[in-house]
Amino acid sequence: MSEASHTHESGERLVAMANDIGNYFRPQGRDEAITGIANHIMRYWTPRMRQKLNAYLAQGNGGLDDWPRAAVDCLNQQSVTTRK
C-alpha cells in the first residue's frame, strides 16, 4: 500500500467515524445533535485527527453528512476565536 493511498484511506475513515457519531445523535434533533457531535469530537479525537479531517475536506473530498459537517465547522470556528 502506498503512502498516498493510505493517507487517502484514513481521511475516508475519519469521515466514516464522524458520520457514525452523527447517526447516533440524529434522533436528538438538529441543534442538540450538532452540539453532541462537536463535543464528542472535541473530547475524544486527537488534534491530529481533526487536522487530518480538515485537510481531507479542504481537498474537496465529500461524504461527510450535513450535521457532522456543521459540527466540524463549529469546532473550527471556535478554535479560530480562541486563537484570536
Site residues for other proteins per CB under 8 A:
1, 3, 6-7, 10, 13, 16-17, 20-21, 23-24, 26-28, 40, 48, 52
Q: Please, what is the minimum distance in Å from the beta carbon of residue 19 to other proteins?
A: 9
Q: Which is nearer to other proteins, 9 or 78 (CB)?
A: 9
Per-residue CA distances from 27 to 30, 64, 73, 77, 79 (Å):
9, 18, 21, 25, 27
Q: Please, what is the minimum distance in Å from the beta carbon of residue 23 to other proteins?
A: 5
Q: Which is nearer to other proteins, 44 or 84 (CB)?
A: 44
| CA-closest candidate to residue 74, choices 44, 31, 10 | 31
C-alpha cell at 44: 475524544
Helix (H, G, I), strand (E, B) or coil at 61: coil
Q: Which is nearer to other proteins, 16 or 77 (CB)?
A: 16
- Neighbouring CB atoms inside 10 A of 48's CB total 8
Q: Please, what is the minimum distance in Å from the beta carbon of residue 74 to other proteins?
A: 18
